[in-house]
Amino acid sequence: MTVRARMSGSAAAAAFAVLALSGCATPPAIVPTAADVRGLRPTARVDLTEVFVSGTGLGGGTLTVDGRRYPFTLTGELIGPGALSGIQGEGVVYNLRDVSQFAGAYIQGGPPLSLGSLPGEIWLKNTHGVIIRLSGLQNGFTVSSGRYQIFIQLGG
């Protein structure tokens, strides 16, 4: 199998995953901020890596709750023209009462245009009210509406 054929298969699988997951859940409409977690204690830690090519993002990471590690995969959907970028981050999770609440559809906000290598914070919120605050580094370029949808699935 050629590299081009493998890449086409991977892109098709990613597109199928985004479509399948996006039909299952709709992320919240409002991107969380620091005000949403004021006075709350973190309930877990998370690290993740994601790569965006065009409008699709693929990645994974680890959720750590009470010393136990749970691997997860993620598929993202950029709302806008597209990107060729990567995100690597780690952070804290709020409002996680049960590990099963971590999976689902998340909304993320970000700048509509980014170029180069940018450190910063990323805020995500899912339909269960789970909020993730990531600190990390984004490399590459992104042109978007500033909104992203991310679908997290527990398991490696």
Domain boundaries, the chain: 3-154
Cβ–Cβ under 8 Å, residues 69 and 145 = no
The answer to whether the beta carbons of residues 138 and 114 sit under 8 Å apart is yes
Contacts of 18 by beta carbon, 8 Å cutoff, 6+ apart: 56, 75, 76, 77, 151
Please state, rounded to an integer, the average pLDDT across all residues of the chain.
76
The DSSP secondary-structure symbol of 76 reads: E
List the beta bridge partners of residue 44.
Answer: 93
Residue 124 tokens read as 């995500």
Q: Is the pLDDT of residue 123 over 80?
A: yes
Go through 71-82 and write b for each residue having 16 or more CB atoms within 10 A of its CB, e for each that does not. Answer: ebbbbbbbeeee
- The CA dihedral of 72, 152, 66, 134, to the nearest 10 degrees, is 100
Q: In Å, how far are 82, 107, 123 from 131, measured between CA atoms?
A: 25, 10, 7
- DSSP label at 66? T
pLDDT, tens digit (0-9, with 9 covering 90-100), for 53-98: 777 888 999 999 999 999 999 998 776 666 677 778 899 999 999 9
- pLDDT of residue 7 exceeding 60, the answer is no
Residue 35 has pLDDT above 70, yes or no: yes
**What pLDDT was estimated at residue 144?**
56
